[in-house]
Structure 1
Amino acid sequence: MKLRFLIIAVAVLIASCGKDSNDPPVPTGSPSTLISDLQADTGASVGEPGEGKEQRPFFSLIFSFSTKQSRLIKTTADSAQYLKNLDWDIAFTQEYNSYVVVNNGTYTGTPGAGGPGKGAMIIVEKPYDQVTEAPSDADFESKGVHGVGWDSGNGYGWFFYSLSNHICVPIKNRTFVLKTADGKFAKLALLNIYKGNPPVVTDLFWPAPFLTFKYFVQTDGSRKLNTSN
């Protein structure tokens, strides 16, 4: 009788192990936040104004990683009320809101200049999911940039731009590691400027700027940036 129960127990154990080995691996890391088609300043135009557009500079769009809230800065009053604080982390500026800058009060000429922001940015030539740790403070100091936009061949942008067809092409496998406005570490993938996040754009008049990007903020203060998506 004892032998019979022992055989049954071993069989159950083997079946259990077999089931576990077929289960999908449990993802490690924390989930990222995906922002799709964030509408920026779609009312401006750099050329002849089309329907519903006017020829003028583009309003900056600020975005907070923690609240997922954004705001267009249209007036001097807006600048005074919304820019000189820690309530946002990145701003989409210049033509078609394509130049992305961090909130840092010491960076003259940027939206956060003169405020308390401590933001910083460094370019990492790795796919987003392979960036698992923020660089050292020394790297941020020596290799940090104020912002990223058109890569004209110098390796400092997030998209390529053709002067022949005037279409932006996002750069794959380039990630941006940031310090947020309040000094936490984060990583950012800038994915598209066109509505619907199309894999390929051939139409100059494809609706833009509609920004798609994903990010992760390490809230425990560490440099760990491993994510599950």
Structure 2
Amino acid sequence: MLFKNFFWKMSVSFAAALLMASCSGKDNDALQPADAAITIRDLPADTAASMGEGVDGKEKRPFYTTTFSFKNQQTHVIRNAADSASYLQNADWDIAFSKEYNSFVVINNGKIAGTPGYKGPGVGNLVIVEQPFDNVTTAPSDEVFQSQGLAGVGWDNGNGLGWFFYSLNNHICVPVRNRTFVLKTATGNFAKLEILNIYKGNPPVVTDLFWPAPYLTFRYFVQTDGSRNLKNR
């Protein structure tokens, strides 16, 4: 099977525990002279939704999916069937932020039922590399993508397959450090992704359950020449 361990359904207990997060502005860092990676800071996902009643300024409903293009940093919020028809079944986006608090990051692959890009032309794939972002310089082989490919990543509940840890004691998401996600983009180029935070301002430590979220901070590098070279420095 092309993709194993498909974590499209996240834990109900996690969904309930994120009840109180609340939450605009996307800021693309200019390319640094010594670093060709792009950093996106505080990308607002569905900041108007809530898991429960009584959260100020929010509506209790499922979270809308937000798509993101590595090529031009364009986003689309998928609110209804018309949005789905216009924005999902194409290769114009590479990752989508979905599920509770937009914490599940899914690739664009038209062959994976239940994912946003299903039945579209996307050929995305994702594997986990347990190395810091800057140290990942070569994309894995096709055999690795075939055997270890994932449709998406979210909560690491101890299986080593997510981008954040989550405690049922304090209900706070903590990003996994030194874990990089190597991808095939929707059009088949190799890329790498580091997801840094879901909380506004990319705080180093969060102790407040009410910290504004989801505002996603992440960085990525795309190799556009078709090679597996992922050196960003």
Q: 1:82 aligns with which of 74, 77, 87?
A: 87
Residue 40 of structure 1 aligns with an amino acid whose one-letter code is A
Are 1:68 and 2:73 counterparts? yes
Residue 71 of structure 1 aligns with an amino acid whose one-letter code is H
Q: 2:218 aligns with which of 197, 213, 217?
A: 213
User: 2:104 is matched with which residue?
Assistant: 99
What RMSD in Å do the two structures reach over aligned CA positions? Answer: 1.3
Structure 1 residues 4-42: Cα deviation after superposition (integer angstroms, max 9, x where no partner): xxxxxxxxxxxxxxxxxxxxxxx9975100000000000
The whole-number CA distance in structure 2 between the counterparts of 1:68 and 1:54 is: 27
User: 1:180 is matched with which residue?
Assistant: 185
The whole-number CA distance in structure 2 between the counterparts of 1:41 and 1:28 is: 33
Question: For 2:154, what is the secondary structure of its paired residue?
Answer: strand
Computing the radius of gyration over CA atoms, which structure comes out larger, 1 or 2?
A: 1
Residue 68 of structure 2 aligns with an amino acid whose one-letter code is F
User: 2:167 is matched with which residue?
Assistant: 162
**Deviation at 1:49?**
3.5
The whole-number CA distance in structure 2 between the counterparts of 1:177 and 1:29 is: 21
Structure 1 residues 23-65: Cα deviation after superposition (integer angstroms, max 9, x where no partner): xxxx997510000000000011112241110110000000000
Residue 93 of structure 1 aligns with an amino acid whose one-letter code is S
Structure 1 residues 75-108: Cα deviation after superposition (integer angstroms, max 9, x where no partner): 1100011000010000000000000000000111
User: 1:111 is matched with which residue?
Assistant: 116
Are 1:171 and 2:152 counterparts? no
Matches within 5 A, 1:49-60: 49-60=54-65
Task: Count matched residues.
Answer: 202
Are 1:193 and 2:198 counterparts? yes
Q: TM (normalized to structure 2)? A: 0.85
User: 1:24 is matched with which residue?
Assistant: none
Point out where structure 1 has 5 or more consecutive residues left out of the alignment. Answer: 1-26
The whole-number CA distance in structure 2 between the counterparts of 1:40 and 1:203 is: 20
Are 1:224 and 2:233 counterparts? no
The whole-number CA distance in structure 2 between the counterparts of 1:43 and 1:94 is: 14
Residue 84 of structure 2 aligns with an amino acid whose one-letter code is S
The whole-number CA distance in structure 1 between the counterparts of 2:52 and 2:40 is: 28
Question: For 1:142, what is the secondary structure of its paired residue?
Answer: helix
Q: TM (normalized to structure 1)? A: 0.86
The whole-number CA distance in structure 2 between the counterparts of 1:71 and 1:37 is: 15
Question: For 2:163, what is the secondary structure of its paired residue?
Answer: strand
**Deviation at 1:111?**
0.3
Say if 1:91 and 1:102, in contact at 8 Å, map to a contact too: yes
The whole-number CA distance in structure 2 between the counterparts of 1:134 and 1:28 is: 23
The whole-number CA distance in structure 2 between the counterparts of 1:105 and 1:166 is: 34
